[in-house]
Amino acid sequence: MDQGQTLLSLQETDLAIIRTEKRLEELPVKKSILATRQKMRDVEALKAKVGELASGFSRAMSRNEDETAQIAEKFDTEQAKVMSGDITNPKEIQHITREMDALRRRKEKLEMEDLDLMERAEKAAGQVAKVDTALKQLAEQEATLTTQFRTEGGEIKTELEALNKKRTANAAELEPELLTRYETLRAAKGGVGAASLKGHMCSACRMELPAQRIEELLAGPDIGVCPVCRRLLVTTVVEDDS
């Protein structure tokens, strides 16, 4: 294979690699995996919030229990004073009685709060359980999608490996200076560094060239330069579409 044909083969292979990499990148199953992982992060964040809420209820119940125990102890102490008969002053007895009433009301309020907290804690625990179930389902979904991606993506990666081997072989056949020029142009011009002359047209920029320029190109080396887009232009493959 001459240098012109090798150059075009390399360009064709490079374009095939770009298309294949894009197929791999845009696999629907890959998007599904990313979407599932985002859902998992969202659900995990929700679990953290619900878990903190449940912990808050638990801490509040614990504080209420401690206060209730202290109130019960103080109530028993005050009641023991009244029952002992040691206190005979009516005003003092009235003061203790009022304090006992206040303790009783506070204890009843705490007990009502406890019932409300227990109900909320149960609901929070139910939410945590639902979140755990959702996370489990999402993890199973991700595992299934990952297996699918490995199958579909594996096939595409096999294609890429073959294309890259072909590219390496093509590049090795090109003269170093020509390869350098091609790589520079390819990087600067959207992945297309070489084209062929088709009739009066450059296959890359699709611009029709003047007849005089066509004659000059055909009279020159097999690999010239497109006067319009400045890409390498192989002139040995001519397709006259006139």
The span from the first CA to the last CA of the chain, in angstroms, equals 28
Residue 167 resides in a domain: yes
Q: Could you give the maximum distance between any two Cα atoms of the chain, in Å?
A: 132
Backbone phi, psi, residue 64, to 5°: -60, -40
Q: Are residues 129 and 152 in the same domain?
A: yes
Q: Are residues 111 and 227 in the same domain?
A: no
Q: Are residues 160 and 211 in the same domain?
A: no
Q: Are residues 14 and 36 in the same domain?
A: yes
pLDDT digits (tens, 9 = 90+) for 52-68: 888 888 888 888 888 88
- Across residues 125-140, what is the average pLDDT? 92
- Across residues 44-51, what is the average pLDDT? 90
Residue 239 resides in a domain: no
Q: Are residues 98 and 197 in the same domain?
A: no
Residue 108 resides in a domain: yes
The Cβ of residue 10 has, within 10 Å, a number of other Cβ atoms equal to: 25
pLDDT digits (tens, 9 = 90+) for 135-162: 999 999 999 999 999 999 999 999 999 9
Average pLDDT of every residue of the chain: 90
Q: Give pLDDT, residue 125.
A: 86
- Across residues 206-223, what is the average pLDDT? 92
Q: Are residues 29 and 95 in the same domain?
A: yes
Q: Are residues 158 and 181 in the same domain?
A: no
User: Is the model's pLDDT at 6 over the cut of 70?
Assistant: yes
User: Is the model's pLDDT at 15 over the cut of 60?
Assistant: yes
3-class SS of residue 224: strand
CATH code where residue 121 lies:
1.10.287.1490
H, E, C per residue of 181-203: HHHHHHHHCCCCCEEEEECCEEC
Backbone phi, psi, residue 234, to 5°: -85, 120
Residue 92 resides in a domain: yes
Residue 106 resides in a domain: yes
User: Is the model's pLDDT at 242 over the cut of 50?
Assistant: no
Q: Are residues 166 and 182 in the same domain?
A: no
CA distances from 233 to 109, 192, 207, 220, 242 (A): 91, 11, 12, 11, 20
Residue 242 resides in a domain: no
- pTM for the model stands at 0.62
What domain range is 18 assigned to? 3-173
